[in-house]
């Protein structure tokens, strides 16, 4: 294989760590030290004049802080340098208009994390079909769940290696996110079939070729009942707390249990999204190497879709509770995350993802193109009211075919300055049709 067809690809892989209580406390101490280092840097930044806010002065400041404050010594020096670089990068992102200005990190509202910038410090070894061992600086050798082949040992070289990692803690415990660099064959653009996708609440994903991807509830009936009991218990205990009084340990424990169940639901939803988007990007059948060459989705403004319907005091909203339930359902499906996954997965396999304008895709008949009132008799069925058509079928598949038709006529939504700009793009015919 020639050098021109190879490219370096960087991606991440997250695995669950099996930490003992002692090692978990060590990781917690490092994470709190990293958070304190961030807050000290932020305080230093606010006190220093503009001309002294340089990387060299900040490096000298954190070195002095590590020498003066004892508990900061639990944080490895490389991790402290990573906090410094991340803080300066946060300001660059703010100046570029990509993010808000960095702020203090509170103890209970911040995600605990520690960066390991050097991949050579990890010393990863696979010891079992399901488990591997990794070395965490100032913590020790720790087992992690082996769910993906990593470039370690004889499979590692300058082009295929692990460049670093990051420890992250959530409601389910500590995880490690590896940063992997791999030299892979550059995907060749292919003229595969085109497919339109309609994303909804009742039917999460419906394709224009009449295929549907659905899922069950993220929590079982028993887990939903337990979550309800915990939320009611937390509400009762919160009633007995006086204004300004600290949260009791019992209430914190209840909050932790609620967070654990919600994190479990999120993990299952994320796994389902990965499996669904991978199935769309490639074919499950062995005979077809690439299933879809072009994936077409709607350019949805999800922020406006989940906006509250409460209204104002002068003009109160209507059906506020129903709209709130719909907003929760839309947020639970995470359409934006699905589009993000489809974007990089189709690109990695030589395909492409295109966005088209969203208005009237669910109300337009895919057979005749007319928009007639009353065509959606119920949530699942579309019946065209045009006397010359009278077509009926699945409403979600009808919307997906409309999405695909907008791409085929060249109506593409191009994001610009925070809004979608519609333009007609010249469509290239497949090589077989020329």
Q: What is the pLDDT of residue 392?
A: 84
Q: What is the pLDDT of residue 229?
A: 95
Q: What is the pLDDT of residue 159?
A: 82
Q: Give the whole-angstrom CA distance, residue 423 versus residue 411.
A: 6
pTM over 0.75: yes
Token pair in block for residue 79: 């991790």
- Write the pLDDT tens digit of every residue in 85-94: 999 999 999 9
Q: Quote the Cα angle for 94-100-104, to 5°.
A: 105
CA atoms within 13 Å, Cβ hemisphere of 386: 16
Are 205 and 199 in contact by the 8 Å Cβ rule? The answer is: yes
| CB neighbourhood size of 407 (10 A) | 21
Look at phi and psi of residue 418 and say left if phi exceeds 0, alpha if psi is from -120 to 50, else beta.
Answer: left
- In 3D, which of 167, 325, 170, 174 has the Cα closest to residue 262? 170
Q: What is the pLDDT of residue 36?
A: 93
Q: Give the whole-angstrom CA distance, residue 251 versus residue 236.
A: 10
What is the side-by-side strand order in the sheet with 194-199? 212-213, 205-207, 194-199, 294-298, 352-356
Q: Give the whole-angstrom CA distance, residue 52 versus residue 45.
A: 9
Are 347 and 188 in contact by the 8 Å Cβ rule? The answer is: no
Phi, psi values for residue 213, rounded to 5°: -120, 120
- Signed CA dihedral, 312, 314, 318, 320: sign only: positive
Q: What is the pLDDT of residue 417?
A: 39
Q: What is the pLDDT of residue 306?
A: 79
Are 297 and 199 in contact by the 8 Å Cβ rule? The answer is: yes
Q: What is the pLDDT of residue 377?
A: 67
CATH architecture of 188-216+258-434: 2-Layer Sandwich (3.30)
Local mean pLDDT, 10-residue blocks, the chain (434 residues): 69 91 93 94 91 90 89 91 93 90 88 90 89 92 91 82 92 92 78 82 86 88 94 89 83 92 92 89 50 81 79 73 82 86 85 85 84 76 82 85 86 54 44 38
Give me the residue spans of the domains in the chain: 1-186, 188-216+258-434
């Amino acid at each position: 294989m020639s050098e021109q067809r190879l490219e370096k690809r960087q991606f991440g892989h997250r695995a669950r760590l099996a930490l003992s209580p002692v090692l978990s406390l060590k990781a917690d101490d490092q994470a709190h030290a990293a958070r304190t280092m961030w807050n000290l840097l932020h305080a230093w930044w606010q006190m220093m004049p503009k001309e002294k806010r340089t990387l060299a002065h900040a490096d000298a400041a954190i070195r002095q802080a590590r020498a003066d404050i004892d508990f900061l010594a639990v944080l490895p020096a490389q991790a402290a340098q990573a906090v410094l670089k991340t803080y300066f990068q946060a300001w660059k992102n703010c100046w570029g208009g990509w993010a808000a200005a960095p702020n203090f990190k509170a103890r209970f509202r911040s995600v605990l994390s520690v960066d390991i910038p050097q991949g050579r410090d990890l010393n990863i070894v696979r010891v079992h079909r399901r488990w591997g061992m990794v070395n965490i600086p100032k913590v020790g050798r720790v087992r992690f769940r082996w769910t993906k082949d990593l470039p370690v040992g004889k499979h590692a070289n300058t082009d295929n290696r692990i460049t670093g990692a990051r420890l992250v803690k959530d409601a389910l415990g500590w995880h490690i996110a590896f940063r992997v660099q791999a030299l892979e064959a550059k995907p060749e653009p292919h003229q595969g079939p085109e497919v339109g996708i309609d994303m909804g609440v009742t039917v999460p994903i419906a394709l224009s070729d009449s295929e549907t991807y659905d899922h069950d509830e993220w929590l079982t009936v028993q887990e939903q009942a337990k979550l309800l009991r915990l939320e009611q218990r937390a509400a009762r205990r919160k009633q007995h707390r006086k204004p300004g009084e600290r949260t009791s340990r019992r209430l914190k424990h209840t909050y932790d249990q609620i967070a654990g169940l919600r994190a479990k639901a999120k993990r299952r939803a994320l796994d389902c999204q990965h499996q669904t988007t991978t199935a769309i990007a490639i074919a499950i059948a062995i005979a077809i190497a690439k299933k879809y060459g072009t994936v077409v989705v709607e350019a949805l403004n999800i922020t406006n879709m989940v906006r509250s319907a409460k209204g104002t005091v002068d003009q109160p909203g209507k059906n506020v509770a129903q709209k709130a339930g719909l907003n929760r359902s839309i947020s639970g499906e995470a359409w934006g995350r699905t589009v993000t996954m489809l974007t990089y997965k189709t690109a990695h396999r030589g395909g492409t993802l295109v966005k088209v304008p969203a208005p009237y895709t669910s109300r337009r008949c895919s057979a005749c193109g007319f928009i007639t009132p009353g065509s959606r008799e119920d949530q699942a069925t579309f019946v065209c009211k045009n006397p010359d058509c009278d077509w009926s079928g699945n409403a979600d598949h009808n919307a997906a075919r409309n999405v695909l038709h907008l791409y085929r006529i060249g109506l593409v939504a191009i994001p610009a300055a925070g809004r979608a700009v519609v333009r007609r793009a010249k469509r290239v015919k497949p090589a077989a049709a020329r």
